[in-house]
Amino acid sequence: MSMEVIVLAAGQGTRMKSRLPKVLHPIAGKPMVGHVLDTASRLKPSALHVVVGHGGDQLRDYLAGRELSVVEQAEQLGTGHAVDQAMPAVDADSTVLILYGDVPLIAEPTLRQLLKSASQGKLALLTVELADPTGYGRIVRDHDHRVTAIVEHKDASEAELSIREINTGILALPARWLKQWLPQLSSDNAQGEYYLTDIIAMAAKSGETIDAIQPSCEQEVQGVNNRLQLAELERWYQRRQAEHWMTEGVTLADPERVDFRGDIEIGRDVSIDINVILEGRVRIADNVVIGANCVIKDSEVGAGTVIKPHSMLDESQVAEGCDIGPFARLRPGTRLANNAKIGNFVETKKALVGEGSKINHLSYVGDATLGKGVNVGAGTITCNYDGVNKFQTEIGDGAFIGSNTSLVAPVRVGAGATTGAGSTITKAIEDGELGVARGRQANLKNWKRPSKQ
Ligand code: UD1
Ligand code: CA
């Protein structure tokens, strides 16, 4: 049987006090609705519908390129009305799963349980017991413990308010029931809204089976209404990631002070000091050491590499046994071969650094190719940009670049060549040659310092 997912994301999220639509606020660097869509996609639905309203344009931009259909809910008349907007496009023979864009951490196994029950022709409801159920819809059950209705907090009687089992909002059911019951909803209630939750009583009256299923933990169904809840959920998520990597053989100096924001893979015996952020697509091989306050984004780090504190790697590939930092900045397109060394206050960009080559101090190397065993002295700069165009610098194997050399690209320094310290190199230096380009020193023997007049 086919399955379709409807994600509700039209609400305004007033309490975020933000220009950004609520569902675009990130958890672990990814918009909340992105988490929901990624989880939904893993269920392989035949169609994915996202209901948008407030901040629709920003949301559409974010959703562009994904395989889903965006449904407009011009006016937010309630969750029932929201789902109804998507129904014309939903196949009547499918099972429908309804998710919320602001409940980001819902987990796949829980949803699979709901879908299993719904595909057997039942209404599967995700519920949870809360110590404080204030504000939520309450699950009303009969003497046989069968679910008979959901009553919204604002419509609940004194007795109903004491119920601690609440509606998470997430449910799955045959599409034909939605097609049948949604048009029958009325807005005659405390909030003047078309409540999706009213279909529960309709299902019960029709004698259908209602399955109440529980998530594996409360955080899975935690909705985000303000930035406090966003931060709480973020911390919980990060703690769980930290625990995962520790059980996989990673040493974390402090599991509360490391953030994982993206698609991360880490090998064995990796050691990560405090305040490290791993972001985007990151691959860390075995035995890597990452010092305090490093940010590693969309990069690969080979086995045994040591990254000292305060270093940043962005879209860079680092091979094995490299030594980076402290205070190094590897910008996009940096590729270090085995055993390369990038020292303090060195910036690289689109730089291929050959095996065992060293750029130890205070340098900028951009749009450059360095062979093996090159030594770049302190203060060396590739002048790669004339204000309009970028040019390449090529340095051959074993070259020695004297301190404070300016390499005016396009320029080539041959294998085994040397540049004199303080040179401004504008012409190619052939293999093995020395290039010196600086004013000659003159010593004035009879020179005297000026004296006070
Ligand atoms: C809803 C449930 C309640 C449940 C609670 C869980 C109803 C009537 N009530 O209440 O039983 O305990 O969620 O958090 O369903 N949305 C739209 N369009 C609308 C209205 C809402 O897209 O017109 C979206 C919101 O963006 C949000 C979700 O639906 O993602 C829930 O809406 P919200 O207003 O937060 O519902 P609650 O009143 O909290
Ligand atoms: Ca809510």
pLDDT digits (tens, 9 = 90+) for 339-357: 999 999 999 999 999 999 9
Report the pLDDT value the prediction gives residue 1, as an integer from 0 to 100: 79
Where among 221, 238, 255 does a domain terminate? 221
Query: Is there a contact between 70 and 50 (Cβ–Cβ < 8 Å)?
Result: yes
Is-catalytic flag, 361?
Answer: yes
Q: Which amino acid, one-letter code, is at 198?
A: D
- Domain annotation covers residue 12: yes
Whether residue 52 is found in the same domain as residue 157 = yes
Where among 192, 221, 250 does a domain terminate? 221
**Which ligand 1 atom is nearest residue 195's CA?**
8
Residues with CB under 6 A from ligand 1: 8-11, 51, 73, 76-79, 81-82, 100-102, 136-137, 150, 152, 166-169, 195-197, 223
Distance CA 105, CA 215 (A): 11
**Which ligand 1 atom is nearest residue 9's CA?**
26
80 CA distance to ligand 2 centroid (A)? Answer: 14
Report the pLDDT value the prediction gives residue 54, as an integer from 0 to 100: 79
Query: Is there a contact between 49 and 72 (Cβ–Cβ < 8 Å)?
Result: no
Whether residue 242 is found in the same domain as residue 373 = yes
Query: Beta strands 30-31 and 26-27: pairing type?
Result: antiparallel
Nearest ligand, measured from the Cα of 23: 1
Whether residue 119 is found in the same domain as residue 266 = no
Query: Is there a contact between 423 and 437 (Cβ–Cβ < 8 Å)?
Result: yes
Query: In the numeric block, which tokens belong to residue 120?
Result: 């057997």
Helix (H) or strand (E) holding 245: helix 227-247
Ligand 1: residue whose CA is nearest its atom 37: 136
Nearest ligand, measured from the Cα of 194: 1
- Domain annotation covers residue 294: yes
**Which ligand 1 atom is nearest residue 13's CA?**
26
Report the pLDDT value the prediction gives residue 11, as an integer from 0 to 100: 87
Ligand 1: residue whose CA is nearest its atom 26: 11
Where among 221, 237, 267 does a domain terminate? 221
pTM of the model: 0.93
List the CATH number of the domain containing 367.
2.160.10.10
List the CATH number of the domain containing 46.
3.90.550.10
Report the pLDDT value the prediction gives residue 164, as an integer from 0 to 100: 98
92 CA distance to ligand 2 centroid (A)? Answer: 28
Whether residue 214 is found in the same domain as residue 286 = no
100 CA distance to ligand 2 centroid (A)? Answer: 9
Tens digits of residue pLDDT in 208-232: 999 999 999 999 999 999 999 999 9
Nearest ligand, measured from the Cα of 171: 1
Beta strands in 60-178 (DSSP E): 69-72, 95-100, 123-129, 138-141, 147-151, 165-174
Whether residue 311 is found in the same domain as residue 171 = no
Ligand 1: residue whose CA is nearest its atom 21: 79
Whether residue 203 is found in the same domain as residue 253 = no
- Domain annotation covers residue 261: yes
Number of domains in the chain: 2
102 CA distance to ligand 2 centroid (A)? Answer: 8
Helix (H) or strand (E) holding 111: helix 108-119
Degrees to nearest 5, angle at CA 327 with 340 and 274: 105
Residue 58, domain extent: 3-221
**Which ligand 1 atom is nearest residue 77's CA?**
23
- Domain annotation covers residue 405: yes
177 CA distance to ligand 1 centroid (A)? Answer: 20
- Domain annotation covers residue 448: no
Whether residue 38 is found in the same domain as residue 101 = yes
Whether residue 370 is found in the same domain as residue 249 = yes
Nearest ligand, measured from the Cα of 11: 1
117 CA distance to ligand 1 centroid (A)? Answer: 23
Ligand 1: residue whose CA is nearest its atom 13: 169
- Domain annotation covers residue 440: no
Whether residue 195 is found in the same domain as residue 231 = no
Query: Residues 54, 153, 310, 361: which is the catalytic one?
Result: 361
Whether residue 258 is found in the same domain as residue 120 = no
Q: Within 10 A of 119 (CB to CB), how many other CB atoms are there?
A: 17
What residues in the chain have per-residue pLDDT under 50? none
55 CA distance to ligand 1 centroid (A)? Answer: 17
Choice from 37, 54, 77, 79 to test ligand 1 binding pocket (greatest atom count within 8 A of CB): 79
- Domain annotation covers residue 443: no
Q: Within 10 A of 431 (CB to CB), how many other CB atoms are there?
A: 13
**Which ligand 1 atom is nearest residue 51's CA?**
22
Whether residue 184 is found in the same domain as residue 104 = yes
Query: In the numeric block, which tokens belong to residue 451?
Result: 């004296």
Report the pLDDT value the prediction gives residue 57, as an integer from 0 to 100: 92
- Domain annotation covers residue 445: no
Q: Which amino acid, one-letter code, is at 123?
A: L
Which residue is it, tokens 């670049």?
Answer: 401
Whether residue 88 is found in the same domain as residue 236 = no
